[in-house]
Structure 1
Amino acid sequence: MKEVTANYDESWKEALNEYFESFLIFFFPQVHQLIDWTKTPRSLDKELQEITASSETEKRIADKLYQVWLLDKREVWILIHVEVQSQYEVDFGQRMYIYNYRSFDLYHKPVVSLAVLGDESNKWRPSAYGYSLGGCEVSLKFPIAKLLDYESKWDELEANDNPFAIIVMAHLKTKATTGNLSEREQWKWILIRGLYERGLTKEQIVKLFKIIDTMMTLSQQLQQKLVSKINSFEEERKMPLISPTEQMAIERGKEIGKEIGKEIGKEIGALQKARDNVKTVLQTRLGRVSSDITLSLAQVSDISILDEMLKLAVVVNSLEDFQQGLELATSK
């Protein structure tokens, strides 16, 4: 049986992409108050890849880098690291320091490093890195948010309208139900039902549903059980909105359509290249290719036939003989 693994990284990355300002309000309000929100922050994914590319440690998908402008007009970078590993990491502070100075070195702008610790150890709270040697001293202190601290604030999370209150709840219950998918399914249902009860719009429900659904992974059987609960819930409430399950099915259909389109595009490109190769050989050996041959080649959609025509083009003595061979091959 395939092991079901929770997907924290992609969920947190999606949450940061959708709710960057809400993230700072929830976890780091002092940083939020410094920023001029009339100017739209810029997500710097390409620059982040450059910063983390040579790291010896595993790059986490949830890392994000933003360019913002402060109320005093300064341009600042905000480097966010979401650590969801459950084990103690001795080099975490060093990694935060390395990413910080690489970020500064890229454009020589001040860098604010922030860390969210989603692990399972209450004692592990790295918030600084430094060393001193021969009169030289280097140090970095960075604010942290420890998700375990919110376990004792569950009532406050339920009453909080910030989307990260729900995301933290999902994270904590995903961790707590590792190895117990039946209990995870129950909590996932409670959290998703809570989205409707908060009076959110259709768009808000769908976005948060997607984040919760991605993080709180279930077996296929339990996921189907959950979907049945959601459908029944929506029918009972006679909800006029498109349900998250329907919306996600639509989105998945679009994704599948894009993938199919890419494959079709590749196939069409390969066929056209094969036709061009045949025409190039014929033109080189026998002169100008007639419009009849060009039209006949355009109607061939079997790559194996075009391969045979390429071989024929190399040895045939005239365009008329090639035309006959092409008609014979396509008539089979």
Structure 2
Amino acid sequence: MDATWMTEPDTNVAANYDEPWKMALETYFEEAVAFFLPEAHRAIDWERGYEFLDKEFQHIVRDAEVGKRVVDKLVKVWLADGAEAWLLLHLEVQSQTDSTFAKRMFTYHYRIFDRYEREVVSVAVLGDEQSAWRPQEYHYGRWGCEMRLRFPILKLLDYAWEALEASDNPFALVVMAHRKTQETTQDAAERKNWKSRLCKSLYERGYNRQNVVELFRVLDWMMQLPEPLALAFQDDILQFEEEKKMPYMTSFERIGRQEGIQEGQQGIIHSLLKGRFGAVDEELSSIVPSLAQIWGDETVNLLLTSSREELLARFGQNILH
């Protein structure tokens, strides 16, 4: 999966949308379905769990050769009636319309069905800033023969801000962070203010320490700041914690500080492993320091697509083979 990195004009403020969304979807998939697709959430038997089908999807994408991908998740779920369904959740983060988007959704859909003969539900989450762009269908036909795919779209711009603030679903905060990151592309100081406000709200929503730390990582990774403002933001959070007597982040990795960057990477890796496998035992924990030493976008993608056995074999030493 390609990373979408943006360097905004004049202010030189970086923004990373892809990796934080990947982390959030891996860590809070059930909550994501509840937030975006409440009807689907009611129909899924969550007691049976779910399975990310990253390898299967990578095969499809490699064969399809349909151009740029952003964040795509293919997940196996079981319905309340016992049937199995494959849910394709496609997240498109871009600032301009894309005339090939609907065709790409169609290509993914039919290739999954053709290769695995599974019922596929395709959903598009649109994180762009153009409210009028709403691709929902791909079709072609001639002489009485017609092919058509209609798919639901979830436009982040459509969610009322007041409803997002009132929601206790973690993905409300992810959507808020996404939108405020876009809105502050040329105002680093305003982004810092919103980042502080959203991160402080984590403590006020009743989340436990683990959820606060995990969501903090997502927001911190997405809403990137220049170094001086990043340091001011971290000091702001630490002072807030002291006032609230909730020292969740005092030992948290200081992403953005040179002396703490590897510790920060280890925290992110730990969260990705937890989201991927549900628990991080001693064997998985042992490879975290090695992974931090070879940190990069490729490492994140491999973490999200490799099996446990592949990770242990590949990252069990300090060298990435």
Q: TM-score, normalised by structure 2?
A: 0.76
- Asked if 1:21 is matched to 2:30, the reply is yes
1:280-327 Cα offsets, whole Å, 9 max, x none, are xxxxxxxxxxxxxxxxxxxxxxxxxxxxxxxxxxxxxxxxxxxxxxxx
Greater RCO, CA 8 A, separation 6+: 2
Alignment check: 8 A CA contact 2:11 2:187 kept: no
- The structure in which a higher percent of residues are helix is 1
Matches within 5 A, 1:1-332: 3-53=12-62, 54-60=64-70, 62-150=71-159, 153-243=160-250, 245-246=252-253, 250-252=263-265, 257-258=289-290, 259-260=292-293, 265=318
CA distance in 2, matches of 1:244, 1:161: 26
Task: Provide closer, same or farther for how the CA distance between residues 103 and 242 of structure 1 changes in structure 2, counting only shifts above 3 A.
Answer: same
Task: Provide closer, same or farther for how the CA distance between residues 234 and 226 of structure 1 changes in structure 2, counting only shifts above 3 A.
Answer: same
Deviation at 1:135, TM superposition (A): 1.8
1:10-56 Cα offsets, whole Å, 9 max, x none, are 11111110111111111111122221112111001111111111423
SS in 2 for 1:63: strand
Task: Provide closer, same or farther for how the CA distance between residues 88 and 234 of structure 1 changes in structure 2, counting only shifts above 3 A.
Answer: same
Task: Provide closer, same or farther for how the CA distance between residues 260 and 141 of structure 1 changes in structure 2, counting only shifts above 3 A.
Answer: closer
Deviation at 1:245, TM superposition (A): 3.3
SS in 2 for 1:137: strand
Deviation at 1:158, TM superposition (A): 1.1
Identity of aligned residues (%): 46
Q: What residue ranges of structure 1 are gaps of 5+ in the alignment?
A: 270-332
Match of 2:298 in 1: none
Alignment check: 8 A CA contact 1:181 1:219 kept: yes
Alignment check: 8 A CA contact 1:206 1:244 kept: no
CA distance in 2, matches of 1:34, 1:253: 36
CA distance in 1, matches of 2:182, 2:11: 19
Alignment check: 8 A CA contact 2:122 2:152 kept: yes
Alignment check: 8 A CA contact 2:238 2:249 kept: no
User: Larger C-alpha radius of gyration, 1 or 2?
Assistant: 1
CA distance in 2, matches of 1:201, 1:12: 21
Deviation at 1:244, TM superposition (A): 7.1
1:196-229 Cα offsets, whole Å, 9 max, x none, are 1112111000110011111111111111110010
Q: TM-score, normalised by structure 1?
A: 0.74
Alignment check: 8 A CA contact 1:209 1:244 kept: no
Deviation at 1:126, TM superposition (A): 0.8
1:84-123 Cα offsets, whole Å, 9 max, x none, are 1010111111110000011112210100001111101110
Structure 1 stretch 29-38 or stretch 84-93: which is displaced more?
29-38
SS in 2 for 1:73: coil
Structure 1 stretch 207-216 or stretch 33-42: which is displaced more?
33-42
Deviation at 1:70, TM superposition (A): 1.1
CA distance in 2, matches of 1:128, 1:263: 45
Match of 2:310 in 1: none
What letter is aligned with 1:257? Answer: P
CA distance in 1, matches of 2:266, 2:116: 41
What letter is aligned with 1:168? Answer: V
CA distance in 1, matches of 2:100, 2:238: 46
SS in 2 for 1:185: helix
SS in 2 for 1:213: helix
* Corresponding residue pairs, total: 265
Alignment check: 8 A CA contact 2:87 2:121 kept: yes
Deviation at 1:243, TM superposition (A): 4.0
Deviation at 1:253, TM superposition (A): 5.2
1:113-167 Cα offsets, whole Å, 9 max, x none, are 01111101110011111111122110011111111112xx222211111001111
Q: CA RMSD in A?
A: 2.5
What letter is aligned with 2:134? Answer: R
Task: Provide closer, same or farther for how the CA distance between residues 161 and 244 of structure 1 changes in structure 2, counting only shifts above 3 A.
Answer: farther
Alignment check: 8 A CA contact 1:227 1:245 kept: no
Deviation at 1:173, TM superposition (A): 0.4
Deviation at 1:247, TM superposition (A): 8.2
Q: What residue ranges of structure 2 are gaps of 5+ in the alignment?
A: 1-9, 270-287, 295-314
